[in-house]
């Protein structure tokens, strides 16, 4: 009974994370922040929900009444978890790289441009700024 | 309330929470947005197959479907990412040249 409540708690926490991923993929302004929400929330919610069902499959293990097939199913669920833990991060990284090279621009406020999107002058100015700040902090 | 009823509720909630990803697939401005939404829906379909197995009491059969679907989804995402990257459209060369000038 305790294990059932624990697995239900895991599943509900996974649903909450999936709600966060859905809101993020719907409302974020550019491709990369949507990618961020989809990658993290989707992976963690999937892991939590499948872990909840695997825990429910292993509920008879404490009474040593578990059949072999139930333990095998739980092990396969753990295999799915291990696979998704690697594969979801890999596909997120590959899709983000493909989106960057496809020409998607991140939405950046004008005073917060980084050195990848700015012209080379701002790049050297930022380097000068860093150099002078380190010189100021040294003595 | 048994665990099967709870599983039905979880499946319905999962289907309802897939709607934002479906909206992103429909109205995504770029192709990559649509692929991200489809990847999300595919990952959740893996979970949904496990839930269907729990509801019908045949988890040992549906867990293989879920594992296969996870593999196919990963392969599809990697293939789409490899297919849709246009090399050189982004100014990678510009960044490296500016670094050399600095």
Q: What percent of chain A has pLDDT over 90?
A: 42
Q: In this structure, are residues B81 and B35 in contact, taking their beta carbons and an 8 Å threshold?
A: yes
d(CA B81, CA A100): 11
Distance from CA of A72 to the nearest CA of B (A): 8
Q: pLDDT value at position B58?
A: 87
> What is d(CA A107, CA A97) in angstroms, rounded to the nearest whole number?
16
Can you tell me the distance from the alpha carbon of B10 to that of A43, in angstroms, rounded to the nearest whole number? 17
The partner residue sitting opposite A26, judged by closest CB among B23, B44, B98, is B23
pLDDT digits (tens, 9 = 90+) for A73-98: 889 999 999 999 999 999 999 998 88
Residue-level pLDDT at B87: 59
Mean pLDDT of chain A: 80
- How confident is the model at residue A82, as a pLDDT? 94
pLDDT tier for residue A113 given thresholds of 50, 70 and 90: low
In residues, how long is chain B? Answer: 102
DSSP secondary structure, A74-106, as one string: HHHHHHHHHHHHHHHHHHHHHHHHHHHHHTPPP
For residue B29, the model assigns a pLDDT of 83
- Cβ contact, residue pair A98, B32, below 8 Å: yes
Position A137 confidence tier, pLDDT thresholds 50, 70, 90: very low
pTM of the model: 0.79
Residue of A84, A95, A127 lying closest to B102 (CB–CB): A127
Q: Measure the CA–CA gap between A78 and A58, rounded to whole angstroms.
A: 11
Structure token pair of residue A91? 């596909």
Positions in chain B whose pLDDT score sits under 70: 86-102
């Amino acid at each position: 009974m305790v294990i059932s409540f624990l697995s239900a708690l895991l599943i509900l926490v996974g649903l909450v994370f999936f709600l966060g991923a859905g809101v993020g993929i719907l409302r974020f302004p550019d491709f990369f922040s949507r990618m961020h929400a989809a990658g993290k929330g989707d992976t963690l919610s999937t892991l939590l929900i499948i872990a909840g069902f695997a825990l429910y499959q292993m509920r008879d293990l404490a009474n040593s009444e578990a059949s072999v097939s139930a333990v095998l199913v739980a092990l396969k669920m753990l295999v799915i978890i291990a696979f998704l833990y690697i594969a979801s991060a890999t596909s997120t990284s590959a899709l983000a790289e493909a989106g960057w090279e496809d020409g998607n621009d991140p939405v950046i406020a004008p005073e917060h441009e980084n050195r990848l999107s700015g012209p080379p002058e701002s790049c050297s100015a930022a380097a000068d700024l860093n150099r002078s700040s380190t010189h100021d902090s040294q003595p | 309330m048994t665990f099967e009823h709870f599983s039905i509720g979880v499946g319905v909630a999962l289907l309802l929470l897939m709607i934002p990803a479906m909206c992103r697939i429909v109205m995504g401005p770029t192709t990559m947005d649509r692929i991200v939404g489809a990847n999300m829906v595919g990952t959740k379909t893996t979970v949904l197959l496990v839930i269907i197995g729990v509801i019908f009491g045949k988890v040992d059969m549906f867990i293989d479907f879920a594992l296969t679907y996870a593999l196919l989804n990963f392969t599809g995402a990697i293939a789409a990412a490899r297919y849709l990257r246009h090399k050189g459209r982004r100014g990678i060369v510009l960044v490296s040249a500016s670094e050399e000038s600095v």
